[in-house]
Structure formats: structure tokens, C-alpha cells
Structure 1
């Protein structure tokens, strides 16, 4: 994958060969329980895989993250919690069918963000309404990583006319009613294929995730790991790739004799190690105590530290390597652009810091904010 990363970035094309390899290796089914033919991985396993993938190609890891956020949320929500929320028994058969399809190679994308709303679920303009045998979903989405290559899309939409917004998620099969707009031409993560999509689609009744309307905002507050911390693992891997590329460049050019260069590398290596530990601590807590208050604090810490670390480390490694590393085609030039995206993706670094600040001050970061967090 690492050998193909530069070409995919330069052309801005989706890394189809990378995902063919992920299918062959069975990694698309990483989060699927053993009873359905998968390895039954937990969040900590996901984090290790995502960090490793991102060290080779951040864009591939980011698309993998979006896919895993669908399968991980489905596989990782305990049955007793689902029943406590009131989901119908028919949901469990739908969930198992969706997860089993991944073992056979299905790829899922997330269609949540919208122009003007970002990832703030309460501000969505995409709507749905119940119709015979299902739901009619209308709207437009942006930043849909893997658009045009996914077998189904996890679409966030609000019930038409609901106030406050009743937001639900639907797993909508690719095909008629979903139009991919070729809009993706970005600074970084250029190979994610994060196009816009237009929706005017009839989704079957069992496309409603959980089989119950209005669960999305509640789950985002109670168990935010797949909306927040999963990105963190990707950007720790990107930060590590910046250190690796800088070390290779410094050694090749004989720059390691310079104390200031060595100091930059030492600080960067330490910062990445600290961010990795934060992600692994969050992952351990997600696997052992999901939804607990201290677990969620680590979720937000992990995303803040990973996003900031990737950006700072990549910039410092570019300084250490010198002007020659800014040329197109140099690994650090690409990694620098990819790393810059980390603090901007949900939840942004400012949103994470605000959440953590409110928690540290003894306030309720989910309900006391003047502007809804989701």
C-alpha cells in the first residue's frame, strides 16, 4: 500500500487495489463476531490495524475507518443495551445480515456530513418520511469517503417536520436514487474519494438502523467512540509515517549530525508515542467499560491529542528535512497535507477541547453547551 500511496494521492483516485488486498486479508470483516464468520475484534484491535494502515497510506486508513465505524458500532452495541433502548427483535436479524455481508467483502461508507452543517447531526437538512414498505430519503451529503465504491451508505437524516430534530441512521444500498457527484479535490487525504452524493431514494423498512427512529443523537452522546476516537487511531498512524519519512530523509542526507535536527526528531517521536498511548488507553476502556464517563473522556482526549500531534509532528518533520522535502513527490509533502486534516475532522480539535474543558470544570459537556455538540 505504501508504494502506491504517492500515485493515488497525485491522481486523486480511490485506492481500489488497497481495498482488494483488505478484502483478501479479511480485514473488512475485522469487527464481525466469530459466530458470523469474523475474528470478533474489539476497538483496541481496530486501533492497532488503523494505525498500521495509516503509517502506509493515510487515505486508505481513513476510508477503512469509515467502514469500521459502521461495522464496529453494529457489532459493539451490546444486545441488552439495544433492548433497553427499545429496538424491536427484528433488528438483530438485520444487524447479523449486514455484518455477515462484510465477511463476503461488502464495503460500507458513511454519509453524515452536509455543506453548511458539517457533522452536526441536529443541523441536518436531509430528511426522511415513512412510506409504504420503507422510507423516502431526500437530501445531499458531502465528504462521503469511498463514494461510488461502497456497497451501502450509512445515511443520517431527520424526520421531515420534526422539531426538535428526530435524527435516525439508515443503511441504504448503493444504486438507484443515489447519485455521486465528482467534487473531491482536496488539500489532503486526496485518495479517499470523499465525493458529494445526492439522495432521492426509497429505502426498505429494515434499512432503519436499530429499527427505531430517533436513536442517533442519544447514541452519539452515550457511546461516541465511532464518531470521535476511531479517527484518532488513523492520525496517530499518519504522525508515525511523518517520523518514519523524516528519519529516512535525514539519514540519507546525513543531517543527523545536526543537534537541532536530532532534537526535532526526538520531540516528534515522543509526541507520537504519547498520542499512541492515549489512543490505546481509550481503546482499552471502550472494550472494557463502554459508555462510562471516564471512558468517554478518554475518547475525546484521544481525538484531540491525535489530531494536534499529527499536524504538529508533520510540520516539524518537514522543518527537520528542509526545503527539498516540500517538492511534490516527496513522502513528507504528502504526509504533511494528510496530517493537516486530522484536527479538522469530527470532532474538530476545538470541539474536543471545549468538551474536555467543560468536563474538567464540572459541567455537563453534552447538555450544557450553548450550541448543540451534535
Structure 2
């Protein structure tokens, strides 16, 4: 996968062979209970695997992340005796690929609001009309998990979480733009998805909630699993950059001293600083993932802890990659360099929720209370 990653980045193509290998290995169902045909792994174990996968192919790891988010949400709900997303677990074992259709341009409410219209249907389903951005796995998903706002009762609008099948594309109710031409993470093929009355059947409606901040398990499940797995991918990128920097320092030779850069005190300090920053994150990931599985009670601090974890992971990863480029020297500036690709890939971490502004606002509110009106 590491060898293929450079090709998909250069050609701006989806890593179909990676997906085939992961599917054959049962990776799509790692978070599904063994009694349903999955691997029955914990969220912490899935985090470790995602970190490892990201060291080889960051875009592949980020792409499969979005499928794993939904299977992780299904696990969070099932652990709390809510069977709403059993079809996600069974579908993952059967080869279904679930995409994450939450992001919308300009919607900083994220899970607490939507510009997508969800119109109720006579059979209990919903017709969704709107535009979703950053729809990862666009070439291959079979089920799109999404949200929208039902305004049919203007006095009591409702947030609707549901799943739309790929067959809606053939019916002309879904249009996927071929618009993914980005700086990094090119293999994810996270294209824009237009919904034109796309139907989610009644048995694929997962949750109907009041808009705004909500402690409902599906909101907690989406936010917690998303933050942990996103942080895992970027922690894996940091680990790969650190490994590349170490390997490079051992072979680059200084004309001044005749010794390798691994003996240079400044380079040694820089690599030590990278390792010190990286080393904290795997332990934090395991601890918080274990708490999610164990249903630990962090009360009002839960969202602050999750947003903080993601923020620390992506800022750490960017700093580590920056230092790795300096250790490697000018060769890393060429696009043929793996570090050049990691440098571009790691930037995407800043755009995933929670972004720096949202993370700081969440943490400030948890410790100081809301801003006074």
C-alpha cells in the first residue's frame, strides 16, 4: 500500500486495490461483534490499526476511516442496548461500504444543524435535498449516512439521521461531482454529492432529534468515534514522518564533520523533540477510546476531551512532519519524496471537525461556562 500511495497521489485516483485488500482481510468489519461475523475489536484496537495503516497510505486510512466511523457508531449504540444501526453491522460484514455525508459548506453547526432538507415520506422514509461536501469514498460507497432538517412542522423542526442507498444515483436523485483535485489526501476522492430528493427508506432512518446541542447517543457516537479515528490517522502520519526522519539522519553525511547527521547535536535535539511530541498521543488515544467502550462518565467534559484529543493529534502531526522535512533537507522538497506527500496530506487534519476555533470554544465552555449573552 505504501508503494501504491504515491501513484494514487500523483494520478489523483482512488486506491481500489487497497480497498480490495482490506475487504479481503475483513477490515471493514473490525468493529462489528464476532457473533455477527466481524472481528469484535475494541475502539482502542481499531485506533492502533488505523495508526499503522496511515503510516503506509494516509489517504487509504482516511478513506476507510469514514466507513469505520459508522460501524463505530453502531458499536457505541449497541453497547448501550440501542439496536438502531444493526443493519450497518450486518451490512459491513456483507461487503457494504458506508460513507459519511455530514459536511456541508458553511455549516459550522455540523451535527447540530443542516442545510439539507429532509422531507418526510408516507412510508416513514425521508427525501433529502441538499449538497454534501467532502464525501469520502465517493467512487465506491454503497450506503450514504447523512443528516438533514425536517421543516415540515415549522414550529418543531427535527434533525433526521438516515442512510441513502447508491441506487438513488441510478435513479437520478444523487449526483456525484468529479471535483476532487486537492493539495493532499487525493486518494480519498472526497467528492461533492448533490441530493435531489434522494430517498432513505423508513427502515434506514436511524434517529430523529431536536436540532441544536443534544446528548443523544447517536450524536455522542458520531462525535466520539470520528474524533478518535481521525486523531489516529494523523498520529500514524506523525509516526511515519518520525521514522523517515530517523532513517534519513542515519544515512545523510555532513561534509563538515564527515559523520552522519544522527551524530549532529542539533539534529538529535530536533528528532528527540519530534519523538517527545509524538509519544504522548498513542497513550491518549488508547485511554479515551477505552473510556468510550467502557461507558466512562466524563459528564460535561466529554466533548472537550474529544475535541482536545483531535486538536492535539493534528497539530502535533503537522509539527512533526515540518521537523522531518528539515531533518531530511532539500530532497524532501521534490514531489517524489514521501515526506513531500506527507507534508501535504497532514494539512487536511486542520479542516476536520473540530477545527481549532471550535475545539478551543468547546474547551473554554467546558471549563468557564458559556459566553454570557
Counterpart CA distance in 2 for 1:352 and 1:132 is 40
Gap change, CA 1:5 and 1:291, over 3 Å in 2? farther
Cα deviation, residue 243, structure 1: 0.8
- Aligned match of 1:182: 178
**Match for 2:95 among 88, 102, 105?**
105
Gap change, CA 1:194 and 1:167, over 3 Å in 2? same
Is the Cα–Cα contact under 8 Å of residues 113 and 142 in structure 1 kept in the other structure?
Answer: yes
Cα deviation, residue 343, structure 1: 2.3
Counterpart CA distance in 1 for 2:270 and 2:309 is 23
Unaligned runs of 5+ in 2: 254-260
Counterpart CA distance in 2 for 1:319 and 1:140 is 40
Unaligned runs of 5+ in 1: 83-91
Is the Cα–Cα contact under 8 Å of residues 113 and 149 in structure 2 kept in the other structure?
Answer: no
Residues 1-374 of structure 1 aligned to structure 2 (within 5 Å): 1-78=1-78, 80=80, 82=82, 92=83, 95-117=85-107, 120-133=110-123, 134-161=125-152, 162=154, 165-176=157-168, 177-200=173-196, 201-210=198-207, 212-214=208-210, 218=214, 219=216, 222-223=220-221, 224-254=223-253, 255-290=261-296, 292-293=298-299, 295-361=302-368, 363=369, 368=370
Q: Scaled by the length of structure 2, what TM-score is found? A: 0.88
Counterpart CA distance in 2 for 1:203 and 1:265 is 51
Cα deviation, residue 237, structure 1: 0.5
Is the Cα–Cα contact under 8 Å of residues 122 and 165 in structure 1 kept in the other structure?
Answer: no
Is the Cα–Cα contact under 8 Å of residues 155 and 171 in structure 1 kept in the other structure?
Answer: yes
Partner of 2:162, secondary structure, is strand
Bigger mean CA offset, 289-298 vs 46-55: 289-298
Q: Scaled by the length of structure 1, what TM-score is found? A: 0.88
Gap change, CA 1:122 and 1:360, over 3 Å in 2? closer
Cα deviation, residue 234, structure 1: 0.9
RMSD: 2.2
Is the Cα–Cα contact under 8 Å of residues 145 and 195 in structure 1 kept in the other structure?
Answer: yes
Counterpart CA distance in 1 for 2:54 and 2:304 is 24
Cα deviation, residue 340, structure 1: 1.4
Gap change, CA 1:355 and 1:295, over 3 Å in 2? closer
* 1:118-162 superposed Cα distances (whole Å, 9 cap, x missing partner): 562344211111112221111111100111210111111111354
Cα deviation, residue 215, structure 1: 8.1
Bigger mean CA offset, 144-153 vs 174-183: 174-183
- Aligned match of 1:89: none
* Count of residue pairs brought into register by the alignment: 355
Is the Cα–Cα contact under 8 Å of residues 137 and 157 in structure 1 kept in the other structure?
Answer: yes
Counterpart CA distance in 2 for 1:237 and 1:329 is 20
